[in-house]
Each structure stands twice: as C-alpha cells, then as structure tokens.
Amino acid sequence: MPLNAPPHIRAAHLNKRYKHHGALSVLERAFRDAEVGKLALVSSFGAESVVLLHMISRIDAATPVLFIDTEMLFAQTLQYQTEVADKLNLSNVQTVTAKRDDLFIHDNEGLLHLHNPDACCALRKTEPLQRALAPYDAWITGRKRFQAGSRADLEFFEDDGGQRLKVNPLAHWAREDVAEYMTENRLPRHPLVAQGYPSIGCAPCTSPVGVGEDPRAGRWRDQTKEECGIHIVDGKVIRGSAA
C-alpha cells in the first residue's frame, strides 16, 4: 500500500499484518516499512519513557527523539532527560518548546493552567508538537492500554487526525511488563517515581498518588481531564478502534 494512502487505511492494514508481533518487532519493522514512512519518537522522559528510549537506542541511537519542554516540567524531569540521553547514547534528542510570541500573547504570566488547562496544553504541548512533527510521516508513542479508559482499545497503529500515523509498540503491555523490562535492562528510574508519582506531567498539574489510587489519578486531579491533548483530534480521543 502506498505511503500516500489515507492514514486510517494504512493503520488498519498495518494492524492486520502486525497483529501477532511483539513490541520490539513492531518497532524494528516500522523503521523499515514503506507504509509507515519517516519516523520520530516523541518522549516525555516520564516514569515509563525509558523503555522505548532503550529500544530505540538498540535499533538506532540517532533516531529523532522529540522532547516537549513545556517550561513547566519538574526539575527532576529535565535532569532525568539529560541522564537517560547520555546513558543510552541518544544522539538526536530535539527539545521542542512553544513559540515565545505565543507564550507572551496567551500566557504571559504563566497562569493559564489555573483557569484553562486545556488551552495551556494546546499552547505548550499540542501546537509545538504538531510543528515539530511536520517533516514526519509517523511518530512513536509510549501509550499503553492499561493507562486510561480512553486507551482501552489502543492498537499498534492508528490514524493521527488524517495527517500521519501514530505507532504504539507498547500498546498491549501490562504494567508488569514495563517493570520487568526496566529491571532486566537496569534502566534508570525517574526520581519522582519513588516519591509517589507513577505518572508524571507538568509540575502544576501533577500530584502524588495515594495507596490504592489509579496510577494516573495525580494527573489533573479533581478534573474531568484525562489526556493532555496531543492524542485528541477535533475534540475526540483517538483510539485504535478509530482506525
């Protein structure tokens, strides 16, 4: 199937072909698959990000890694990003930020997240990412089915709003698979995990999680918000079933 075929058609076709493959196989083959095209990994360098980053380092350490710095991240995340990139010899980490003019116009005081977190995510995450993804045909994410209800039907490949493909190699992994991979490969942990942060986003919108709570309960606590927006198109959460 040609690369210029609609993304939702390609996603459906790819999901059939890769149905019985494992995470590393999906990732390795995606880089060589003409139906996928030019790829980049988008990483938050969060609690579980090191798994995909390690896989990428084994395949090609020069793979473009797009790191969205919202300028509201925890200091520990910025330190961890440097540590992991150095340890894994990742040579093409590209830091993505919002345009200075946009921040000045829409969030000059840095308080937008207090009264409109969706607009803040759009300004500091969604728009910068879309700009950074312009040269690519597909991007790799670390999303997994167990992370949220909106991800329950996630597949390996999905349509990203008719523009490109998203590749989710870890879609079918359980939390135990992530922990086991990190232990077996002696990968560094994000320092905030030990402090009760199993899911880590921007500092103002992330809080510790208590015993028995859902691991993502600390993201946008007490709000109906579940996603930052980079996986939402036209107001709808994009799931694997949409493909």
Q: In what order do the strands lie in the sheet with 157-160?
A: 93-96, 65-68, 39-43, 138-140, 164-167, 157-160
Would residue 228 show up in a list of annotated catalytic residues for this protein?
yes
Burial 63-77 (b: 16+ CB within 10 A, else e): bbbbbbbbebbbebb
171 vs 153: CA distance, rounded Å: 9
CA angle 76, 82, 88 (to 5 degrees): 125
> Catalytic pick from 120, 121, 205, 228?
228
Active-site positions?
228
